[in-house]
Structure 1
Amino acid sequence: MFYWLVTPLMAMAAGIAAIFVARDSANFGVVQMVVSVLLLAGLVALLVFWGPIMDWLRRGRRGPR
């Protein structure tokens, strides 16, 4: 099950890393890992703050009254 989560994440990270670094570069794996960690952190942050984000969007971005 962990493989199902990691494979799409690494595939997206490889695509994003390829924009910045050539795939045959020696440090492509390092850049890919950094991008995948950033994607994972962003996904976790989105899941953690999903409720407040939806409340903010429903209020129309005006703030509390």
Structure 2
Amino acid sequence: MTAYQRGQASVEWMLLSILVMLALVVVEENWSVLDYLIETGNRVREFYDFIWRHLVLIPGGGS
């Protein structure tokens, strides 16, 4: 005989996802994680642009 769950798992996943979203909102309000990630992404992009510009200067490097 097989026992079936009738909606219990989906309610648990919904509660878990609400808790995760609430934790992300609290962390974002306190530490502004999105601003940090955006700034870090901009620095990484600038670094790789810098490296790419110097690789182009190497004979046979870049395009």
Establish whether TM, by shorter chain, passes 0.5: no
> Shorter-normalised TM-score: what interval?
0.3 to 0.5
- TM-score after normalising by structure 2: 0.40
TM-score (norm 1): 0.39
Higher relative contact order (CA 8 A, sep 6+): 1
